[in-house]
Structure 1
Amino acid sequence: MKRLITTALLAAPLFAMATPVNLVTNGSFESTTVNSGTWTIVDAATGWTVGPQGLEIRNNVAGTAASGVNFAELDTTTNSWISQSLATVAGYTYTLSFSYANRPDNQGANSNGLNWSIGDLSGTVGQNTTTSWATFTTTFIGTGSPMTLRFGAIGRSDGYGTSLDNISVTTQNAGGNANGVPEPQSIALILAALGAMGIALRRRKA
């Protein structure tokens, strides 16, 4: 009996173990190859729907990335936007997080700023002259239907907007897994624990 209780106690944490998964695809814009010290404007990027004015991706020019080597700007030659549809579970609490900073050569607060939205929730950041990366974080409730995450440039359309990087959407529901489904390594641990419990139970009956 003691062995069974010990096994159960050891197995219990495994049911809660799962690494939060980022629901956002290409949240740091690393899927586009950009040489260091250069930038490019693209009309498509993995995971993202890109507005008609394109998406500017930079690597170690007019700033450095908050995560990885690439980062984005949505004021290309004029204000643009990007969006991505995310599958959510109804009633789950999700955390949206992203980094933003103004260019070292920014043209003043009126030139800067981003708006963001997810479902019915929205806001603005970066309408200042701060050039160091800051992180914005908020939470929202999943609807169970695809929810659109959108970012857009809102400052003066002059090619000198606010930078964006390191975008993530995660949840701690369902044992910490953002998708509400145990990851393969967690499933293996759970099965191993259940097996150990079964063996202990059979020995006890014998």
Structure 2
Amino acid sequence: MKNFYKSVVSILLVAPIYASAAVDLVTNGSFEADLQDNGSWNLYSTLIGWSGAPDVELRNNVAGSAFDGSNFVELDTNSNSSISQLLIGTPGLYQLSFWFSARPGTGSDTNDLSFTLDGSAPVTVLTGVGGGSDHNWQNYSALFNFDGEGLLTFSAAGVSDSLGGSLDMISMTSTIPEPKIVEMILVGFLLLSLTLRCTSKAYFSRNNH
């Protein structure tokens, strides 16, 4: 009986921890999975998890410092470009978050950055901002009702001159409990309730004789 109680208590204690853990749908959101020499940059048609159109500029702490880790991307390569990733997950409410900045030492007309999610109208998050001596990273965060599959795309939207805004630490997270975890919690409570009832009946039965 003691072992049974320990099992039920373990379920009740551990399950909420897993239930509240955020599930991130974005692969390689900080671009650290791609190897880029320190202080260098290059153009790529794809990065791990991402597709460029036509390509994407990966930088390792050059022309500005990364927000997270060492790598970040610029989307105005030889001309305005974009990156996309197909997100797949359980339908529900998700939080999209990313960090962006004007490129250091640039004018206010070249850094515009926009994104679309699952075919939505483009949202411009950086417009009319010039760059200083280093990145001035800012965060964008918003909630979206996600139907389980959709394309996330970031695009350069300023003057197409090979100089553009920077992007780093992208995530698409849900804190909604996973169905299996919810089931585990409910089963744990049910077993505990039944056990307490049986124990109470046995106790009253012994004391009434």
Which TM-score applies when normalising by structure 2? 0.77
CA distance, structure 2, for counterparts of residue 181 and residue 75 of structure 1? 43
**Residue 47 of structure 1 pairs with residue 49 of structure 2:** yes
Aligned position for 1:116: 115
The residue identity in structure 2 corresponding to 1:167 is I
Aligned position for 2:206: none
CA distance, structure 2, for counterparts of residue 34 and residue 6 of structure 1? 49
Structure 2: unaligned runs, 5 residues or longer: 203-209
Q: SS of the residue aligned with 1:43?
A: strand
Aligned position for 1:163: 166
CA RMSD, Structure 1 to Structure 2 (Å): 3.3
Instruction: Give matches, 1:125-204, under 5 Å.
Output: 125-127=125-127, 128-129=129-130, 131-144=135-148, 146-173=149-176, 175=177, 182=181, 197=192, 204=199
Aligned position for 1:33: 35
Does the 8 A contact of 1:86 with 1:149 survive in 2? yes
Instruction: Give matches, 1:2-81, under 5 Å.
Output: 11-12=11-12, 14-18=14-18, 19-52=21-54, 54-81=55-82
Which TM-score applies when normalising by structure 1? 0.78
Structure 1: unaligned runs, 5 residues or longer: none
The residue identity in structure 2 corresponding to 1:140 is F
Percent same amino acid at aligned positions? 36
**What is the CA distance between 1:125 and its match in structure 2?**
1.5
Q: SS of the residue aligned with 2:109?
A: helix
Aligned position for 2:98: 98
CA distance, structure 2, for counterparts of residue 10 and residue 45 of structure 1? 41
Size of the aligned set, in residue pairs, is 189
CA distance, structure 2, for counterparts of residue 170 and residue 35 of structure 1? 30
Greater gyration radius: 2
CA distance, structure 1, for counterparts of residue 40 and residue 197 of structure 2? 65
